Amino acid sequence: MITIEQATEILKENAPVAQPQRVPLMHASGRTLMEEVKASFDSPSFNNSAMDGYAVRWQDIETVAGGLPVDVTLVGESSAGTPFNGRLQRGQAIRISTGAAVPDSADTVVPVEDTVQKDDATISILQARAKHQHIRFRGEEFARGQTILEKGALLTPARIALLASVGRDEPLIIPAPRVALCITGSELVEHNEQAVFGQVRNSNGPMLHSALERDGAHVVGEWRLGDDPQKIARALDEAAEQAGVIITTGGVSVGNHDHVRAAAQTCGFDTLFWKIRQRPGKPMFAARKGNTLLVGLPGNPVSAFMGYTHYLQPLLAFMQAQPYERPMISALLQEDAANRSNRVQLNRVTLHKGNDGHWKAQLLARQASHMPTTVAHADGYIQLDINARLKAGDRVQVYTFQKGVNFL
The better pLDDT of the pair 402, 320 is held by: 320
Q: How far apart are CA 68 and CA 83, in angstroms?
A: 30
The better pLDDT of the pair 188, 50 is held by: 50
What rounded mean pLDDT belongs to the chain?
Answer: 93
Q: What is the pLDDT of residue 406?
A: 53
Q: What is the pLDDT of residue 173?
A: 97
34 falls within a domain: yes
Q: What is the mean pLDDT of residues 198-222?
A: 90
Q: What is the pLDDT of residue 408?
A: 46
350 falls within a domain: yes
73/33 same-domain check = no
97/167 same-domain check = no
Q: What is the pLDDT of residue 391?
A: 97
218/283 same-domain check = yes
**CATH number of the structural domain spanning residue 256:** 3.40.980.10
101/11 same-domain check = no
31/169 same-domain check = yes
Residue 205's H or E segment, with its range, is helix 204-214
DSSP string of 233-274, one letter each residue: HHHHHHHHHH-SEEEEES--SSSTT--HHHHHHHTTPEEEEE
**Cβ-Cβ contacts under 8 Å for 306 (sequence gap 6 or more):** 280, 281, 346, 375, 381
38/156 same-domain check = yes
**CATH number of the structural domain spanning residue 346:** 2.40.340.10
33/165 same-domain check = yes
190/161 same-domain check = no
Q: What is each CA distance from 181 to 29, 375, 392, in whole angstroms?
A: 24, 21, 41
385 falls within a domain: yes
Q: Tell me the pLDDT tens digit for each residue of 342-372.
A: 999 999 999 999 999 999 999 998 888 778 8
pLDDT band of residue 404 (cuts 50, 70, 90) is low
Of 87, 113, 136, the residue at which a domain comes to its end is 136
391 falls within a domain: yes
pLDDT band of residue 285 (cuts 50, 70, 90) is very high
Residue 207's H or E segment, with its range, is helix 204-214
pLDDT at 60 over 80: yes
Q: Tell me the pLDDT tens digit for each residue of 128-162.
A: 999 999 999 999 999 999 999 999 999 999 999 99
Q: Are 297 and 303 in contact (CB under 8 A)?
A: yes
- Residue 310 belongs to domain spanning: 4-18+175-319
Q: Tell me the pLDDT tens digit for each residue of 247-275.
A: 999 889 888 878 999 999 999 999 999 99
142 falls within a domain: no
**CATH number of the structural domain spanning residue 74:** 2.170.190.11
Of 319, 351, 369, the residue at which a domain comes to its end is 319
Q: How far apart are CA 348 and CA 340, in angstroms?
A: 17
CB atoms < 10 A from the CB of 192, how many? 8
124/101 same-domain check = yes
Q: Tell me the pLDDT tens digit for each residue of 65-115.
A: 888 999 999 999 999 999 999 999 999 999 999 999 999 999 999 999 999
Q: What is the pLDDT of residue 323?
A: 92
Q: Are 124 and 21 in contact (CB under 8 A)?
A: no
Number of domains forming the structure of the chain = 4
pLDDT at 405 over 60: no
88/160 same-domain check = no
Q: What is the pLDDT of residue 343?
A: 96
205 falls within a domain: yes
144 falls within a domain: no
Q: How far apart are CA 259 and CA 234, in angstroms?
A: 12
DSSP string of 14-27, one letter each residue: TPPPPPPEE--GGG
Q: How far apart are CA 408 and CA 314, in angstroms?
A: 19
221 falls within a domain: yes
203/311 same-domain check = yes
Of 302, 319, 336, the residue at which a domain comes to its end is 319
53/130 same-domain check = yes
